């Protein structure tokens, strides 16, 4: 969680 | 990527294609809520800001662009197309979307992972997507006979989110440390909103009768 967490889900 | 998430994305893609086919084939948007479509465009635009500054995969980029363009296309059809726009029933599609958008924005400003513009907007899109279908469900209750394609559209939209629930369970089981409380809770609420629609949809399908939601 938090900054830079990769949002790989649409 | 796992099969549940891929199936969910494909179901979401299919739902939009079904909607576009219905509008294009029948040249009518009867039973389709413009407000829900506008909320979805707002969801996609605020969620996919990372298109501007990060690249994850070709699939990810293509799907984000498709969702933004296709929802924009649906809105254009309903608002601008000379024939389709005549069939839009604005008198019935009266849900006050500000009652949805404002609480979501307030919640995004208070409950988020990071207090940055992109993170707050992304969180806003997660909350908004959970409730964006409400104007459409209200419209279906008001327009007595729901045409099959519109019913299929809503069913596929609910199915996509239900598949995402399976995806999250799968990722919790296989990826130690994978945590997305905001997405999980919001997505569960979103899927729960579809439950009563699923009940009437499946009942009408089994009794082979027209889908009609009780008002």
Residues of A in contact with B164 (CB under 8 A): 9
Reported as a pLDDT band with limits 50, 70 and 90, residue B69 is very high
B97 contacts B135 by C-beta, under 8 angstroms? yes
> What is the per-residue pLDDT for B144?
78
* Position with higher pLDDT, B53 vs B145: B53
**Cβ separation A10–B63 shorter than 8 A:** yes
Residues of B in contact with A6 (CB under 8 A): 56
What does chain A come to in residues?
10
CA distance B136 to chain A (A): 22
| pLDDT at B140 > cutoff 70 | yes
Virtual torsion, Cα B78, B158, B127, B103, nearest 10 deg: 70
**How is residue B183 annotated by DSSP?**
H
Rounded to an integer, the average pLDDT of B173-179 is 93
**How is residue B146 annotated by DSSP?**
P
- Tell me the average pLDDT of chain B: 96
User: Count of CB atoms within 10 A of residue B131's CB?
Assistant: 20
**Cβ separation A9–B164 shorter than 8 A:** yes
- d(CA B128, CA B101) in angstroms, rounded, equals 6
| pLDDT at A2 > cutoff 80 | no
Compute and round to an integer the Cα radius of gyration of chain A. Answer: 7
Compute and round to an integer the Cα radius of gyration of chain B. Answer: 17
The contact set of B with A (CB < 8 A) is: 1, 5, 9, 12, 50, 56-57, 60, 63-64, 67, 113-114, 116, 119, 122, 164, 167, 179-181, 183
B123 contacts B113 by C-beta, under 8 angstroms? yes
| pLDDT at B51 > cutoff 90 | yes
């Amino acid at each position: 969680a938090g900054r830079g967490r990769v949002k790989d889900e649409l | 990527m796992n099969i549940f998430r891929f199936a969910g994305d494909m179901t979401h893609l299919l739902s939009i294609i079904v909607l576009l086919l219905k509008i294009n084939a029948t040249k009518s948007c009867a039973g389709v809520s413009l407000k829900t479509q506008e909320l979805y465009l707002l969801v996609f635009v605020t969620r996919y800001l990372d298109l501007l500054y990060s690249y994850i995969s070709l699939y990810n980029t293509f799907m984000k662009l498709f969702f933004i363009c296709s929802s924009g296309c649906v809105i254009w059809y309903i608002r601008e197309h000379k024939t389709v726009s005549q069939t839009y029933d604005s008198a019935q599609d009266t849900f006050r979307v500000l009652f949805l958008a404002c609480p979501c924005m307030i919640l995004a400003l208070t409950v988020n992972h990071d207090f940055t513009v992109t993170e707050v907007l992304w969180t806003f899109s997660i909350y908004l997507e959970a409730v964006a279908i409400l104007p459409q469900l209200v419209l279906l209750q008001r327009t007595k006979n729901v045409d099959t394609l519109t019913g299929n559209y809503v069913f596929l939209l609910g199915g996509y989110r239900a598949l995402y629930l399976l995806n999250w369970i799968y990722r919790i089981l296989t990826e130690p440390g994978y945590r997305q409380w905001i997405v999980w809770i919001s997505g569960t609420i979103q899927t729960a909103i579809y439950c009563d629609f699923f009940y009437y949809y499946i009942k009408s399908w089994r009794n082979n009768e027209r889908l009609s939601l009780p008002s």
